[in-house]
């Protein structure tokens, strides 16, 4: 079973950027006409991707204000404190449109999840863990956000008798003349894709692997490349090196004198991180994650001093905890109230009836709204099908 999870806010900002004319037209989204264009663009993009993959379940993860903004960062103004919204955009209209789009997706039988103080990335991570580890199902995350690549993995890691479940990230956005879409996958993915399915000769189960077909549709789609990534390393690298986009400093910065004798702030680089990482390994084949880092804080401090040739004055355990909270997308890191809320809502959401999305398009996603004209219903049978579709129950 394959689940499709949309990072709705990431998709929405991409659509807003494109509809706004790449900064040329400078849409303000004050007018209903501009909002209509944004809604139709969103619906067109979503419908295309849903038809391409035809998953068993569709989930939209929605942003709320972030709990990470309460974390004190002494080096700067705080998590994402460097971001400013365009002053010419009517953000109230845009957010109202996104709320309306979310409600329309619910009406069409899809799952929409928003949790107080949780970012869309957090919601994506919660669903990915639930579906992959607890339900043993595949996950395809649709987003252009590179941070979500840390969720790419396969499970179980050491049980040959249990079905492999993969979590992948699909970036459908192409920028530039020779750009391509990317499907980020973990180790063993291609081996699994190429392995022959086991056939049950009594009922022919396994003769057609629907899950593999879902992934195959992405891989064979126009200008799509498959790329292997190590989710653990992506998270660790950001923990140590930071992320300017999110205003997250590296785990250690220090001051040196430049050629003119002025103070210059230096951060821990990728090359230095690689040296530190190698010094922390207990064996050449070990695969460390953030838990291993927290359990080896003394070794981390010694490695930093040796590689950077400077001694931090902060408490290394506190700094590791801070970086973990700012960077790592894992339920074990999230605040308890976010976990509790998700545990309550997932029960109802995961049991929602699944809908056939094979013929989905922009018009039937937005049908019955001011964004498209109402389709004429020709007969009684089509009336009942339309009622079922609007309720989100199966059509057949």
pLDDT digits (tens, 9 = 90+) for 241-299: 999 999 999 999 998 888 888 888 888 999 999 999 999 999 988 989 999 999 999 99
Q: In this predicted structure, what is the pLDDT of residue 258?
A: 80
Q: What is the DSSP letter of 68?
A: G
β-pair type (181-185, 165-171): antiparallel
β-pair type (181-185, 224-228): parallel
What CATH number labels 2-230+331-391?
3.40.50.1010
Domain boundaries, the chain: 2-230+331-391, 232-327
pLDDT digits (tens, 9 = 90+) for 344-371: 999 988 887 777 777 888 888 888 888 8
Strands (E) located in the chain? 2-7, 57-62, 111-114, 138-142, 153-155, 165-171, 181-185, 224-228, 253-257, 263-267
Cα–Cα distance, 30 to 35 (Å, whole number): 8
Cα–Cα distance, 112 to 270 (Å, whole number): 37
User: With bands split at pLDDT 50, 70 and 90, how would you rate the model's confidence at 174?
Assistant: confident
Q: Are 11 and 61 in contact (CB under 8 A)?
A: no
Burial of 265 (0-12, 13-18, 19+ CB in 10 A): exposed
* CA nearest neighbour of 111 among 347, 350, 360: 350
Q: What is the pTM of this model?
A: 0.88
């Amino acid at each position: 079973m394959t689940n499709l999870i949309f990072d709705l806010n990431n998709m929405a900002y991409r659509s807003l950027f494109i509809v706004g004319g790449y900064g040329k037209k400078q849409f303000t989204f004050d007018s209903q006409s501009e909002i209509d264009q944004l809604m139709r663009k969103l619906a067109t993009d979503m419908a295309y991707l849903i038809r391409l993959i035809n998953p068993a379940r569709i989930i939209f993860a929605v942003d709320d204000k972030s709990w990470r903004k309460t974390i004190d960062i002494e080096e700067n103004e705080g998590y994402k404190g460097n971001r400013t919204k365009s002053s010419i955009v009517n953000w109230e209209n845009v957010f109202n449109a996104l709320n309306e789009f979310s409600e329309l997706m619910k009406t069409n039988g899809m799952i929409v999840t928003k949790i107080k103080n949780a970012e869309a990335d957090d919601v994506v991570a919660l669903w990915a863990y639930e579906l992959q580890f607890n339900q043993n199902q595949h996950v395809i995350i649709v987003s252009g956000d590179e941070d979500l690549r840390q969720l790419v993995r396969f499970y179980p890691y050491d049980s040959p008798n249990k079905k492999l479940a993969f979590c992948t990230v699909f970036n459908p956005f192409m920028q530039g003349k020779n750009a391509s879409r990317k499907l980020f996958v973990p180790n063993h993915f291609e081996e699994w894709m190429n392995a022959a399915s086991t056939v049950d000769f009594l009922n022919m189960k396994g003769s057609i692997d629907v899950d593999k077909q879902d992934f195959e549709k992405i891989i064979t789609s126009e200008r799509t490349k498959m790329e292997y990534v190590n989710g653990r390393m992506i998270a660790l690298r950001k923990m140590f090196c930071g992320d300017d986009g999110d205003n997250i400093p590296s785990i250690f910065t220090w001051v040196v004198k430049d050629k003119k004798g002025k103070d210059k702030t230096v951060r821990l680089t990728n090359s230095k991180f690689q040296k530190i990482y190698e010094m922390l390994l207990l064996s050449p084949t070990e695969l460390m994650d953030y838990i291993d880092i927290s359990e080896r804080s003394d070794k981390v401090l010694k490695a930093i001093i040796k590689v950077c040739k400077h001694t931090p004055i902060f408490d290394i355990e506190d700094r590791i905890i801070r970086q973990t909270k700012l960077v790592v997308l894992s339920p074990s890191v999230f605040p308890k109230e976010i976990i509790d809320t998700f545990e309550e809502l997932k029960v109802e959401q995961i049991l929602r009836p699944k809908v056939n999305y094979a013929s989905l398009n922009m018009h039937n996603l937005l049908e019955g709204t001011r964004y498209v004209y109402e389709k004429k219903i020709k007969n009684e049978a089509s009336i009942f099908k339309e009622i079922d579709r609007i309720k989100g129950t199966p059509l057949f």
